[in-house]
Structure 1
């Protein structure tokens, strides 16, 4: 069962590597830190964009670039946080952010290892047949003070309801 607007998000602790001047090089690994969603996102408007995998064709070429280009516009429309979520580890997500030219924390890249949080939301996908295991599906959330105000899961092969333009239209 997929969560619906009005539902409070389940507790979560995500690992991520925040941008820093010391780790701007693609060769620099950085140090993962933990983000407690209920503590960090309380009282905030948060956009979560979930993708099946960093560096995968649709995610890398079509999904992420418009968010990088429109991050300021999304923040100006009221988003306190933009978070890209994937089942990849935080080191891969940090490299993905760097490769996409994200040079600040306007977008954070959070790891949902084993798609545990996505599974609680009913938004995980089994990609075992493609050698990728359990993953988060492609979806978008807008969270207002820990409650979902927008929940949209993409149909396989589509990129519409979780696009930057869809988020801008729903903020």
Structure 2
């Protein structure tokens, strides 16, 4: 598969891994059990912003990328976004801990694992090291309406929350 472009249908077989947030497991040291998240099915009838990045707890990702989405979540919701998800190659345990470290509760932002960067590789958007690249995709009821990859690893322009707000 090649990169997703506006007008494309989101693939029908995309499954990520994640640990659902729960109040009982809200402590950062608590481990839940990873489950499959069938993004194709879950997002078929929703407006979704998925932003991807090279790794949890890394400088640009932790200092700017995720905080920008947390800060702009109300504005994204006001524009009709049902789901905001962050995607990285880290395993579901690390992604869950990263969500907790950012005080994200419930389904405000889904912290999804792209094991072995399988999805990112399938669209040609893995980075040089074979990890999830930095990009953003907006899906509206199964159709891609925005899809941009950053021009460099530590650059945050087209995948930041503010760029998405301008585009939608």
The answer as to 2:122 corresponding to 1:120 is yes
Distance 1:113 1:33 in 2: 12
8 A Cα contact 1:50 1:86, kept in partner: yes
Identify which of 139, 145, 150 aligns with 2:146. Answer: 150
Alignment equivalent of 2:160, drawn from 142, 155, 163: 163
Q: Does 1:141 align with 2:137?
A: yes
Structure 1, unpaired ranges of 5+: 128-133
Which one of 19, 22, 25 corresponds to residue 23 of structure 1? Answer: 25
Superposition deviation, residue 96 in structure 1: 0.4
Give the drift of 1:146.
1.6
Structure 2 match to 1:130: none
Aligned to 1:9: 10
Tell me, yes or no, if the aligned pair for 1:48 and 1:82 is still in contact at 8 Å: yes
Work out the number of aligned pairs and report it. Answer: 165
Gaps of 5+ in 2: none
Using the size of structure 2 for normalisation, the TM-score is: 0.94
Runs of 4+ displaced beyond 2 Å:
none
